[in-house]
């Protein structure tokens, strides 16, 4: 009978007890890397313990073609898996796209019972629906145009001789506020629950919304009209108090990380 070595037991341990086998490439001023790191923290995985962290300089385009940390899709984040602990795999891999990385983390974590993608078919489908809606309707259709055509990137547009599109900026702002209003209505419904996908389970949909909303309220300068969004505000307060979010706090609030909820403050810098 062969005597097992210490590494033979690794696959039986939860990821929170494994030595670092992954390297995460991100930027803590961007919403998608923050989404992944909050997800990792929910699974009790932390920088320097369960994964190594490399900060990518987006301004120097280190993630672009030929860059120092080129990613498969020339975006952030990226996860390099040096040693997958599953005995049937035992291989290296490179993952891009934040949701794909999160799925890998959740499927790898077989023992802690943490589930942010849902347990039943209906839960999983509902969470997927809201995650995709936040990504496509809020981030890509609203925040994206407002960011690209907003004041922060005005010097870049001038340098590259790009035409300003104030109409796209205003349409993006309108889309953002419309989405927030719909979410506020959903969260106000009796029996809907405390979280984005309904019910009382915190999910990847909540993480996604938090990161997009904070980014929009930060450098995009489109803050929610909190005085009109009582239920969305209560949701934001609730999720911001989670340990995973406190570790990876809103990067646009400065060192103190204290969130304030003034009335509509989208007047100053969002219009050109």
Give tens-digit pLDDT for 82-119.
877 665 555 678 999 999 999 999 998 876 789 999 99
Q: Which residues contact 18 (CB under 8 A, 6 or more apart)?
A: 10, 50, 85
**Residues 134, 213: Cα–Cα separation, whole Å:** 10
Encode pLDDT of 30-55 as tens digits: 999 999 999 999 999 999 988 999 99
In CATH terms, the fold of domain 121-247 is Glutathione S-transferase Yfyf (Class Pi); Chain A, domain 2 (1.20.1050)
Ordered by start, the domain boundaries in the chain are 6-108, 121-247
| pLDDT grade for 257, boundaries at 50, 70 and 90 | low
Say which CATH class 6-108 falls into: alpha beta
Task: Collapse the DSSP code of 180 into the 3-class scheme (helix H, G, I; strand E, B; otherwise coil) and give the result.
Answer: helix
Which of 192, 258, 265, 267 lies closest to 231 in space, CA to CA?
192
């Amino acid at each position: 009978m062969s005597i097992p070595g210490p590494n033979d037991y690794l696959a039986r341990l939860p990821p929170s007890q494994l030595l670092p086998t992954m390297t995460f490439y991100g930027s803590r001023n961007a919403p998608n890397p923050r989404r992944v790191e909050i997800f990792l923290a929910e699974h009790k995985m932390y920088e320097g313990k369960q994964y190594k962290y490399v900060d990518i300089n987006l301004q120097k385009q280190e993630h672009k073609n030929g860059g120092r940390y080129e990613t498969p899709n020339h975006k952030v984040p990226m996860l390099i898996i040096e040693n997958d602990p599953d005995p049937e795999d035992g291989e290296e891999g490179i993952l891009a796209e934040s949701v794909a990385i999160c799925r890998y983390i959740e499927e790898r974590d077989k023992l802690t019972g943490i589930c942010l993608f849902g347990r039943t078919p209906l839960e999983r489908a509902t969470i997927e629906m809201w995650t995709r809606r936040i990504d496509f309707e809020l981030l890509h259709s609203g925040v994206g145009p407002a960011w690209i055509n907003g004041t922060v990137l005005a010097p870049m547009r001038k340098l590259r001789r790009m035409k300003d599109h104030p109409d796209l900026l205003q349409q993006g702002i309108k889309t953002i506020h419309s989405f927030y209003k719909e979410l506020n209505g959903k969260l106000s419904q009796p029996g809907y629950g405390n979280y984005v996908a309904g019910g009382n389970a915190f999910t990847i949909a909540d993480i996604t919304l938090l990161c997009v909303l904070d980014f929009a309220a930060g450098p995009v300068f489109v803050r929610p009209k909190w005085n009109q969004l009582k239920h969305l505000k209560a949701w934001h307060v609730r999720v911001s108090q989670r340990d995973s979010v406190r570790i990876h706090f809103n990067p646009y609030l400065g060192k103190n990380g204290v969130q304030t909820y003034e009335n509509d403050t989208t007047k100053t810098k969002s219009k050109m």
